[in-house]
Amino acid sequence: MYKTSKSTTKIPLLVPDLPTTEELLPWLKCIDDNKWYSNFGPLVQEFESKLTEILNSNLTTVSSGTSALELSLLALDIPVGSKVLLPAFTFPATVTAVKHAGLQPIFTDVAADNWLLNPSIARQIRKKISYDVVIPVTTFGHPQPVNEWDKFYSDTGIKVLIDAASSFGVQPIGKNCIITFSFHATKPFGIGEGGLVIANSIEFIQQVRKLSNFGFENGVIIKSGYNGKLSEYHAAVGLAQLERWEQIIQRRKKIWDIYQDYLDKNTLQNMPKNYIPAILAVKFNTKKSIDYQFQTRRWYYPPLYKHPAFTDIPKFGPETENDLPITENLSLLGIPFHTSLTEDDIIYICDSLI
């Protein structure tokens, strides 16, 4: 347990809200009875069927948000080296998945108002270069306009894979887009490690599922996949977590309401009005170096094109090649946002930011 702001221990940035041992026990006993531990066992099937009821879409679970992205890219079955447009302002997993799938990433910029790669930017880039897939990200939990992306696909034929890692429960499901989620412990719907792929096409989902099991089809490998399956233990956490999901949403909403009461109006610029963020990031003056009594993180700094592993990836901005001015100048400070915060913690954090 962390201590309050008055103690010497800093208020943590992220605290998972996962089931307790007692809440997990009935599901773990099912595993004891079934003696089935992985390979699409009964708990994975039950977890998937409950998720299908909630999301009303074809889906398959996988081992992480990263494998959800990578397996989806593999299942698209496009030629090696095909070009994939993605924002430079995202978590590295978005680009590592593209590289591991044997495709060519291209970085682009995000919008100034919500820090997302949106359909308008994707259309502007398309006038300059061709690409085969676009990966819009739901940065900080901000949902992507799925209907606009569905139209983008209908108009251009470019495949849209929405990396909605932190947006389970927030990102609407459309018709033409493939959507991936992460169930990492620090996500709003966390189960430890896990991921989900959603698509309208049942054939596509079946292909992702096969690839998550090495690519086996009738005992032979037709296309190489790898081991990206969700274990029965993670499905047990998922089933226990589904029973707590409504309460988690209420707890997160309460924290967000308190923040909105106390955060300075200027800081709240660009902040969501109609959904609960997954991560809270505020604008930050880089010249200041303050030792806050709460943990912070510079999300996502440096931009991906400055990471040594990604310096050779081409960049195309909506205005000029090589120039991503919004990403380049974004300076955001992640501040604590989780259900273990008290109102006193939030007041203390907001007062410290002034």
List contacts with ligand PLP (CB under 6 A): 64-66, 90-91, 93-94, 137, 163, 165-166, 182, 184, 195
Distance CA 130, CA 237 (A): 43
Q: Which SS3 state, helix, strand or coil, does residue 212 take?
A: coil
Q: How far is CA 334 from CA 140, 227, 240, 327, in A?
A: 10, 33, 29, 16
Give 30 or 133: the residue with its C-beta nearer to ligand PLP. Answer: 133
Give 50 or 297: the residue with its C-beta nearer to ligand PLP. Answer: 297
Query: Half-sphere exposure of 276 toward its Cβ, with a 13 Å CA cutoff?
Result: 21
CB of 68 to ligand PLP, least distance (A): 7
Query: Half-sphere exposure of 14 toward its Cβ, with a 13 Å CA cutoff?
Result: 17
Give 299 or 348: the residue with its C-beta nearer to ligand PLP. Answer: 299
Burial level of 202, CB count in 10 A (0-12/13-18/19+)?
exposed
* Residues 55/268, Cβ–Cβ less than 8 Å: no
CB of 30 to ligand PLP, least distance (A): 24
Q: What is the DSSP letter of 213?
A: B
CB of 18 to ligand PLP, least distance (A): 14
Q: How far is CA 271 from CA 12, 23, 245, 252, 276, in A?
A: 21, 34, 23, 15, 10
Give 30 or 191: the residue with its C-beta nearer to ligand PLP. Answer: 191
Give 64 or 241: the residue with its C-beta nearer to ligand PLP. Answer: 64
What are the φ/ψ torsions at residue 97 (nearest 5 degrees)?
Answer: -60, -40
Q: What is the DSSP letter of 268?
A: T
CA 298 to chain centre: 17
CB of 34 to ligand PLP, least distance (A): 26
Give 197 or 350: the residue with its C-beta nearer to ligand PLP. Answer: 197
CB of 29 to ligand PLP, least distance (A): 27
Of all residues in the shown chain, the one whose CB is closest to ligand PLP is 65
Q: Which SS3 state, helix, strand or coil, does residue 343 take?
A: helix
CB of 181 to ligand PLP, least distance (A): 8
Give 94 or 118: the residue with its C-beta nearer to ligand PLP. Answer: 94
CB of 151 to ligand PLP, least distance (A): 23
Give 5 or 167: the residue with its C-beta nearer to ligand PLP. Answer: 167
**Strand 83-87 to strand 104-108: parallel, antiparallel, or no bridges (unpaired)?**
parallel
* Residues 141/166, Cβ–Cβ less than 8 Å: yes
CB of 25 to ligand PLP, least distance (A): 25
Other Cβ atoms within 10 Å of 55 Cβ, number: 18
Token pair, residue 291, equals 């030792």
